[in-house]
Structure 1
């Protein structure tokens, strides 16, 4: 093996090779380098967006969320609540109830969700940094208060500093009766206490108020939509979610932050691998230049190969020379491509060379390198190099040793 790798290395830098071979080899290295850099950077941009959006979602989503498996609501179980509070790794626990609502302020109307939370909500979800205007609170004495997402308040034209008409909330009427009511909803006024922003969908459709007040309005005493848990530092949320699932049983689903937005992250991963496949196809196209370079080397080195076979080299070893030659070309391209990617990464991080539209929450495209991506790209390029050497290596196997008789 050492002999074949040395011969392949000499063929790569042979001074006796024609200029055409050097040019085609150089083009191959350049193409592999550009393709490698593009693959690394595309994957890194997706990594950056994934980290950015995970952080944004994580601000409003609890570490672990417990919901009913086959229903919108479930009855509050005091024994389960006590066991969850005593679970090792749980720092705080909050109960919540959600329902579809219509909000009206003046002539403006918007549909969204109203969420009732208990007094422990701020311990499970950090609302301090997210509060934009006012101060977060769900009740003042016996009076319930509303906290609107910044997008929802903007659409309705609500300002916390305004002391005019209150926000009106329209909810489904769940009052018991003999039959369907002509008025299938109820409405009530509520004072807006604050606005918040997590830079995500909840900003545009969610109002937060007091749990007991919302239960009373919905006539759903003792009912919950979810239990939110905050995990202590040093504990793995996924592990805590598994413990919660075991404790709660099959009637519930315990979701970590990833599972709470699982569909979104699956779409992001699908897009990431689609782009990976697309850019890998460009490397496949570049590999045809490697095939051309190897064919020319085979034609030029026919006599050398014949002599090596006369000296006892087997076909398998002779073929491996050109497999290694292909890999050397790919390794040269990989090294240069990694260097380009690292250089661009540093410049993008420092100067934000490629920006995003002004209305977005960041100034430049986020980018994040991961070691796994380098490994994946390396395997991809070397596999393409191996496939590119298949036909030239097959041709080497057809070259026969030539013996001269004196």
Structure 2
């Protein structure tokens, strides 16, 4: 073993070492490991939330919407679909009519946002709604059929096969209100939607909604989904300005973007906070080495009197401190990777054991703790911890190299 490694390990594992120094040394190792463990775990949770946001919520809601300024709807929307279909960034396009009104059953009322869809685009919409094949086929055959979110059905105590009344407000050209139009719809299925969407979203036929609301062109606008939903804020304006009719433009970040922004904010705060935790733990390395240098002045003086150069002394104490950081980083990374890889199972076990629920499916778009491990973040965490540990050793190592052998041995 090279001399510098031998000296560093001997100084670190010396059984005659002051007990307080050993305690501070162990504290620095544990602190660094704990910081790495929590950082890897929380970053994996944030990655998991971002993945579920994309796979679940963004699979249901449109990534971009173009709504006609004209009250009669979007003129020549079939041609607009044909032109947009040539863009390889778009995965799906469909026309829509949006009807906001009230559902009534008996004395109970519930506000609802009805998305009216065309059966011509049935295949993709069935994947999004996640209803059974039988319910979807029944919906396609019956123009008066409606699919309602589970939250709406629970609130109105509806079941499949019931009839429900839909009240749609009428707005005249002078913005005055008339008596609402009433439709009786057949409940043919429930939508397994995410979080709050289940409490206010329903699906009906576009032709019926257009006729009821007086949308003469048959569609109010177009809805798009992109291969990369996070590119929607850039793509939506680009395509919207190129369209012939005047349209209002919107993307998912305006309606559900607060959730994505919260995830990114928490990720940044967690990263900064836990890096500071690791940095504070590294200050214990400074304390440990400073006390070790003061305790081992005679050994350092004898080494220098035997011909040891300052560089050897500096490398010895830097390596001693780096060993503390490396051991802490190693066990922190290992535990962090193991926990992040099995977080869903561990969380479920804790929920079952203590009869608690961390996330409610009625409020959030998922009812479990997601986790997705990114190895680049694991490597970055380990590198940052080792660099901070190395920086913490500089001052004590330089102080050790400045010890005067004649002065120390003379006493």
Tell me which interval the TM-score lies in, with the shorter structure as reference length. 0.7 to 0.9
2:43 corresponds to 1:48: no
Alpha-carbon RMSD across the aligned residues, in angstroms, is 4.1
- The answer for the alignment partner of 2:201 in structure 1 is 206
The separation in 1 between residues aligned to 2:230 and 2:87, in whole angstroms, is: 14
The separation in 1 between residues aligned to 2:177 and 2:231, in whole angstroms, is: 49
Q: Is the 8 A contact 1:150 1:197 kept in 2?
A: yes
- The answer for the alignment partner of 1:294 in structure 2 is 289
- Mapping for residues 138-287 of structure 1, pairs under 5 Å: 140=141, 143-162=143-162, 166-176=163-173, 179=174, 181=176, 183=178, 185-222=180-217, 223-229=219-225, 246-249=238-241, 261-287=256-282
Relative distance call for 1:111 and 1:237 in structure 2 (3 A) is: closer
The separation in 2 between residues aligned to 1:114 and 1:364, in whole angstroms, is: 28
Relative distance call for 1:139 and 1:348 in structure 2 (3 A) is: closer
2:396 corresponds to 1:392: yes
Bigger proportion of residues as helix: 2
The separation in 1 between residues aligned to 2:278 and 2:11, in whole angstroms, is: 23
Pick which of 299-308 and 262-271 moved more. Answer: 299-308
Relative distance call for 1:327 and 1:313 in structure 2 (3 A) is: same
Relative distance call for 1:397 and 1:333 in structure 2 (3 A) is: same
CA distances 1:133-182 after superposition (whole Å, capped 9, x unpaired): 961355546x43221111112111221233xxx32222231344xx5546
- The answer for the alignment partner of 2:373 in structure 1 is 369
Q: Is the 8 A contact 2:341 2:373 kept in 1?
A: no
- The answer for the alignment partner of 1:329 in structure 2 is 324
Structure 2: gaps (5+ residues): none
Relative distance call for 1:240 and 1:217 in structure 2 (3 A) is: same
The separation in 1 between residues aligned to 2:342 and 2:359, in whole angstroms, is: 23
CA distances 1:211-233 after superposition (whole Å, capped 9, x unpaired): 222122222333524323475xx
2:66 corresponds to 1:67: yes
TM-score, normalised by the number of residues in structure 2: 0.77
Count of matched residue pairs? 391
Q: Is the 8 A contact 2:289 2:317 kept in 1?
A: yes
Relative distance call for 1:308 and 1:84 in structure 2 (3 A) is: farther
The separation in 2 between residues aligned to 1:227 and 1:270, in whole angstroms, is: 29
2:350 corresponds to 1:354: yes
| SS in structure 1 of the partner of residue 79 of structure 2 | helix
CA-CA distance at 1:261 after TM superposition: 3.6
TM-score, normalised by the number of residues in structure 1: 0.78
Q: Is the 8 A contact 1:93 1:230 kept in 2?
A: no
